[in-house]
Amino acid sequence: MTKENNKVTVSRRSVLKGAAATTGAALGAGALGGFPTIWAQNIKNVTLRQFGTGVSNLNDVATKVKEDLGFTLKMTALDSDSVAQRAATQPKSFDIADIEYWICKKVWGAGNLQAMDTSKIKNYDKIAGTFRSGKLTPESEIAQGTAPHTVGFVEGPGSKKFADNESGWMTLIPTIYNADTLGIRPDLIKRPITSWTELLNPEFKGKASILDIPSIGIMDAAMVVEAMGEITYGDKGNMTKEEIDKTIAIFIEAKKAGQFRAFWKTFDESINLMASGEVVIQSMWSPAITAVRSKGIPCVYQPLKEGYRSWGGGLGLSANLSGLELEAAYEYINWYLSGWVGGYLMRQGYYSAVPETSKKFMTEDEWGYWFEGKAAKGEIKTPTGKVLEKAGAVRDGGSFYERMGAVACWNSVMDENKHMVRKWNELIAA
Partner 1 sequence: MNNTISPEKTSWMLVSPLAFILGLFLVLPILIIIMVSFWDYNEYNFFPAFISENYDYLLTSKVTLDTYLKTFKFMILVWFFCTFIGFTVAYFLAFHVRTLPMQIALFLLCTIPFWTSNIIRMISWIPFLGRNGIANSTLISAGIIDQPLEWLLFSDFAVVLAFVHLFSLFMVVPVFNTMMRIDKSLIEAARDAGASGFQILTNVIIPLSKPGIMIGSIFVVTLVMGDFITVRFMSGGQSTSVGRVISNEIGLLQYPAAAASAVVLLITVLIMITIMMRFVDIRKEL
Partner 2 sequence: MEPRSRSFYVLVVFFGLFVLFLYGPIFTIGVLSFQGPNGGLTFPMNGVSTYWFHDLFEQQAVGDIWGSLRRSFVLGLMVMVITLVVSVMGGLAFRNKFRGSSVLFYLVIISLTIPSILVSLGVGLIFNIVDLEVHWTTSGLGSQLTWTLPFGLLIMFAVFNRFDKSYEEAARDLGATPWQTVRHVVLPIIAPSLIGVALFGFTLSYDEFARTLLTAGSDNTLPLEIFGMTTNVTSPVLYALGTLTTVFSFFVIGTFLLIAVLLRRRQTGAGTDAGKGMV
User: Given the rule CB under 8 A, which of 1-9, 136-144, 208-216, 411-419 is the region that contacts partner 2?
Assistant: 1-9
User: Given the rule CB under 8 A, which of 10-18, 126-134, 239-247, 259-267 is the region that contacts partner 1?
Assistant: 259-267
Residues 55-74, one symbol each (x = binds partner 2 by CB under 8 A, - = not), give x-xxxx--x-----------
Decide: is 2 part of the binding site for partner 2 (CB under 8 A).
yes
Among residues 23, 3, 70, the alpha carbon closest in space to that of 328 is found at 70
Sites for partner 1 among residues 192-221 (CB under 8 A)? 206, 209, 212, 214
206 binds, among partner 1, partner 2, none (CB under 5 to 8 A by kind): partner 1
Among residues 357, 7, 421, the alpha carbon closest in space to that of 175 is found at 357
Sites for partner 1 among residues 72-111 (CB under 8 A)? 81-82, 84-85, 88-89, 105-110
| Residue 352 dihedral angles phi and psi, to the nearest 5° | -90, 150
267 binds, among partner 1, partner 2, none (CB under 5 to 8 A by kind): partner 2
Residues 208-247, one symbol each (x = binds partner 2 by CB under 8 A, - = not), give ----------------------------------------
- 179 touches 403 (CB < 8 A): yes
Sites for partner 1 among residues 323-362 (CB under 8 A)? none
| Residue 212 dihedral angles phi and psi, to the nearest 5° | -100, 50
* For helices 214-227 and 417-429, angle between their N-to-C axes, nearest 10 degrees: 80
Residue 89 Cβ vs partner 1, minimum distance, rounded to whole Å = 7
Exposure string for 306-332, b = 16+ CB within 10 A, e = fewer: bbbbbbbbbbbbbeebbbbbbbbbbbb
Nearer to partner 2, 170 or 216 (CB): 216
| Residue 69 dihedral angles phi and psi, to the nearest 5° | -110, -20
Q: Is 152 helix (H, G, I), strand (E, B) or coil?
A: coil
* For helices 267-275 and 286-293, angle between their N-to-C axes, nearest 10 degrees: 40
User: Given the rule CB under 8 A, which of 263-271, 368-376, 406-414, 416-424 is the region that contacts partner 2?
Assistant: 263-271
CA distance 108 to 112: 7
The contact set with partner 2 (CB under 8 A) reads 1-3, 6, 49, 51, 53-55, 57-60, 63, 75-79, 89-90, 92-94, 265-269, 271-272, 275-276, 291, 294-296, 384, 386
